[in-house]
């Protein structure tokens, strides 16, 4: 019979690539991880690790057992969640992360509704981009994140992540009111090939999606303005310095002098909730219910009113 602690150590090495990294995640010393793995090798009766330069890699037997170890860990997480369901009150920490516009439009009303019904939940919230938030989620530093993906670039989810789409919304191009194309019913992206663009920083979903869809339209976008805050991007647009792709809920109605024109390519953005499989404890499930309800109200308002 294999020890679950030793299986957990092997799964951590397989996921994080080294004994040192596994030790950090498990909050033990590297020598402690090495001892657990040595005992597991004796239990397995064959080598599970082999040298790889200054670190180690899994043998074929190690990879096979690590796969089983990951499934055992997920099953134990599910068992813990099932026990939590047995009449326990929804309470305790709830660590959330999200992209800026999702935090602004979806998370505050969902948290308010959650706390109205479950005042003993202890939420904390931080912002960021999917590229940084998803690794933190899978390391167990966050319980749930609300992230975005833009067409035609699907969200790359890590193994072991559960996902639910909350909102799908149209993406339009923001133009200064005096721009020659501002009064058009629709615009093709290739018509904006010579423009300066404003977007979020390199590596974020908005930036990489802009690059991808522009190249599909036959040009490499020039993006001299890379700013996290959408209001600042829209001020650059209003001043005639840039154009930008803007999803519906990221539009700020207090920015006069900007027109939001539909794109011929039919772009959209998804806002998605992501959590770890088997780690949907009562606070996570209660928050999902609250944000799902809020997302339904948001989308039922209709895009024509929001974009007017």
Q: Per-domain residue ranges for the chain?
A: 4-84, 92-159+275-307, 168-269
Reported pTM: 0.67
CATH code at 92-159+275-307: 3.40.190.10
110-120 confidence digits (pLDDT tens): 999 999 999 99
Average pLDDT, the chain: 88
**HSE, side-chain direction, 13 A CA sphere, residue 129:** 16
Confidence class for position 302, pLDDT limits 50, 70, 90: very low
- Can you give the pLDDT at residue 252? 65
The reply to whether 92-159+275-307 and 168-269 are identical in fold is yes
- Can you give the pLDDT at residue 83? 63
List 294's β-bridge partners, or say none: none
Mean pLDDT lowest among 86-100, 154-168, 230-244 = 86-100
Fold of 168-269: D-Maltodextrin-Binding Protein; domain 2 (3.40.190)
Residue scoring higher pLDDT (199 or 300): 199
- Can you give the pLDDT at residue 195? 98
Is-contact 100 145, C-beta < 8 A? no
Residue scoring higher pLDDT (93 or 300): 93
Confidence class for position 82, pLDDT limits 50, 70, 90: low
Angular region, 86: left φ>0, alpha ψ -120 to 50, beta rest: beta
Architecture of domain 4-84: Orthogonal Bundle (1.10)
């Amino acid at each position: 019979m294999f020890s679950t602690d030793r299986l957990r150590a092997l799964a951590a090495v397989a996921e994080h690539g080294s004994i040192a990294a596994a030790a950090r995640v498990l909050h033990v010393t590297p020598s402690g991880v090495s001892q657990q793995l040595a005992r597991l090798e004796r239990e397995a009766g064959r080598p599970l690790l082999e040298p790889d330069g200054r670190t180690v890699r899994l043998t074929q037997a190690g990879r096979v057992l690590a796969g089983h170890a990951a499934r055992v860990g997920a099953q134990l997480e599910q068992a813990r969640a099932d026990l939590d369901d047995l009449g326990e009150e929804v309470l305790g920490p709830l660590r959330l992360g999200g992209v800026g516009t999702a935090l602004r439009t979806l998370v505050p009303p969902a948290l308010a509704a959650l706390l109205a019904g479950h005042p003993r939940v202890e939420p904390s919230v931080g912002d960021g981009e999917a590229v940084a938030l998803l690794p933190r989620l899978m390391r167990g530093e966050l319980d749930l994140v609300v992230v975005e993906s833009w067409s035609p670039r699907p969200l790359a989810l890590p193994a072991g992540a559960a996902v639910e789409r909350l909102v799908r919304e149209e993406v339009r191009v923001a133009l200064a009111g005096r721009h020659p194309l501002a009064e058009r019913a629709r615009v093709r992206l290739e018509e904006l090939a010579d423009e300066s663009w404003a977007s979020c920083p390199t590596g974020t979903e908005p930036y990489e999606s802009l690059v991808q869809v522009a190249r599909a339209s036959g040009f490499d976008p020039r993006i001299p303005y890379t700013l996290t805050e959408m209001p600042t991007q829209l001020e650059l647009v209003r001043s005639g310095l840039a154009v930008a792709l803007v999803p519906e809920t990221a539009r700020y109605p207090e920015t006069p002098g900007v027109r939001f024109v539909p794109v011929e390519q039919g772009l959209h953005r998804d806002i998605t909730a992501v959590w770890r499989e088997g780690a949907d404890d009562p606070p996570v499930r209660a928050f999902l219910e609250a944000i799902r309800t809020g997302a339904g109200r948001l989308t039922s308002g209709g895009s024509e009113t929001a974009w007017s």
